[in-house]
Amino acid sequence: MAIILRLDRMMADRKISLNELSEKVGVANVNLSKLKNGKVSAIRFSTLEAICKTLNCQPGDILEYKDDE
């Protein structure tokens, strides 16, 4: 099972920088950077909610499931 993070694509579509998103969401820049680069194993629902609210998107726009098969 693989969950693919598409935060970088959504940020590019919305023309928002990592620093600006970090400020608006209230999450440290380094933590958002790890999330953007897929270097995390979990995400808090409150963080996901804040990102979706800021980027005006759905969780499915950021997260994608890909079967290993």
What's the total number of domains in the chain? Answer: 1
Phi, psi of 43 (to 5 degrees): -145, 135
Domain that holds residue 15: 2-66
Q: What is the pLDDT of residues 23-50, one digit of tens each?
A: 999 999 999 999 998 898 899 999 999 9
Q: How far apart are CA 10 and CA 30, in angstroms?
A: 18
Give the pLDDT score at 5: 92
Mean local confidence (pLDDT), 42-63:
96
14 and 56 in contact (C-beta within 8 Å)? yes
pLDDT above 90 covers a percentage of the chain that reads 80
pLDDT above 70 covers a percentage of the chain that reads 99
* CATH code of 58's domain: 1.10.260.40
